[in-house]
Amino acid sequence: MYRGRLERDLKLWTAQGLIDEPVAGRLLKEYDSRPSSFSLGRVLMIIAALLVSAAVLLLVAANWEAIPRLVRLIGIVGVIWGAYLAGGVLITRGAERLAAAFLVLGTLAFGGAIALVGQMYHLSGDTFHAMLVWFAGAVMAAVLFRSGAVTAIAGFLAFAVAGADWTASYNTNEMVLLWLMPVMAVIIILLVRYTGADRVRHLAYLLLVTWLAFIYSEYETPTTAITIAAFGAVAYLLAAVPQSPLHAVARSAGASPAFYSYLVLIVGLLVLHAEFDDIGDRLFLGIITLAAAIAGIALSGKENGAVRYLGYATFAAETLYLASETIGSIIGTSGFFLVSGLVVALIAWGVIALERRFSQAETKAEA
């Protein structure tokens, strides 16, 4: 996708005389020489590792009584060590894609070993503690081998840990998740920076959003929703405003910190709509929501497409909601649709005006 856009831009710049055709050819050739972030072979190897790991886990679940316990234990430990050793050797030889498959196999087999040992020796414990040990093992493997693939496995296991404790919250201490989920998110972010698995950072951000949802589910009050919205607003301003001391750090992580913090702000405001029944309170909240949508578009509209489109969607949805709460209840259904059409047309006009302003600002900056 990016290569196609780059090639079109180079042709346009060449036609405009901004760069020479040989320079454009060398730029495109240099981009093609970079190692691709997507490799079909690597994907197939990871899928193969997942399938083999699934086979190991299914063997554990099948409770193979015909095999002696010692043989089972030696077999599963052999798979783990064999996979990790093969992964380490392949890394030293530069075969990182094949090494990632073996490391994934070893990490998933470690989870099978936890289940196997607990099954054979009837060890006390629950799913939450087993998943937590599995997560810790994946984190250690990711650090030792500096593996982005294992970092991704650790990210998914963090959700499994949270889910295991969330579903069993009435049998265990649900307060554990209040500190465990953000700790796991921080660990994943540190692993991402250490291993270079940039795309895995989304799992950490989604885990933090899930953590806030868990907090609201435990303390479902307007105060909680206001706190979540305020937290999102502060986090977004710290990430998006250039004068912020954390702006440079957030920009180094790409567009994700600004988007996810803005998402928390919008979700908090939307949840608040269900907490207030009075029409006056909802109108006041609607004005705040519209202001938040405009602020997101104004602050990040030029450089962060995700925030821009979320701001557009929020502004449109909130405008239609306010129309349904006020005008729609007065003039009836047909009139509401007419007014809604006019509102959407005004929104479209505003979006076009904003896009034009962004384009003009970008042109002036380049000049």
> Are 203 and 155 spatial neighbours (Cβ–Cβ below 8 Å)?
yes
In terms of pLDDT, which residue wins out, 131 or 338?
131
- Whether the per-residue pLDDT at 137 is higher than 90: the answer is yes
Residue 342 clears pLDDT 60, i.e. is over it: yes
Query: CA Rg, the chain, in Å?
Result: 26
d(C-alpha 298, C-alpha 310), whole Å:
12
| Rounded CA separation 291/227 (Å) | 18
At residue 15, does pLDDT exceed 90?
Answer: no
Strand, coil or helix: 67: coil
How far is residue 351's CA from residue 126's CA, in Å, rounded to a whole number? 53
Single out the residue of 151, 215, 148, 149 nearest to residue 181, CA to CA: 215
Tell me the two tokens of residue 168. Answer: 């069993």
User: What pTM was estimated for this model as a whole?
Assistant: 0.73
Q: What distance in Å separates the CA atoms of residue 80 and residue 324, rounded to the nearest whole number?
A: 60
CB atoms within 10 A of CB 24: 19
What is the model's pLDDT at position 247?
79
Least Cα distance to 54 among 121, 114, 109 occurs for 109
Structure tokens at 332: 């009836």
More confidently predicted of 128 and 40: 128
Average pLDDT across the chain, whole number: 78
Give the whole-number percent of the chain exceeding pLDDT 70.
Answer: 73
The predicted-structure confidence for 151-181, as pLDDT tens digits, reads as follows 999 999 999 988 877 665 444 556 677 888 9
Least confident interval from 220-234, 294-308, 329-343 = 329-343
Task: Please report the pLDDT score of residue 349 as a whole number.
Answer: 73
Indicate if the pLDDT at residue 359 is higher than 70: no
Is residue 141 predicted with pLDDT exceeding 90?
yes
Q: What is the band of 38 on the pLDDT scale with cuts at 50, 70, 90? A: very low
To 10 degrees, the CA torsion angle through 101, 107, 110, 115? -100
Per-residue pLDDT at 130? 85
**Tens of pLDDT, residues 215-248:** 888 888 889 989 999 999 999 998 888 888 887 8
| Greater pLDDT, 47 or 56 | 47
Per-residue pLDDT, 300:
82
- 335: how many CB neighbours lie within 10 A of its CB? 12
Q: Please give the Cα distance from 293 to 347 (Å, whole number).
A: 12
* CB distance 269 to 292 below 8 Å: yes
Strand locations in 99-209 (E): none
Distance CA 361, CA 367 (A): 10
173 versus 267: the higher-pLDDT residue is 267
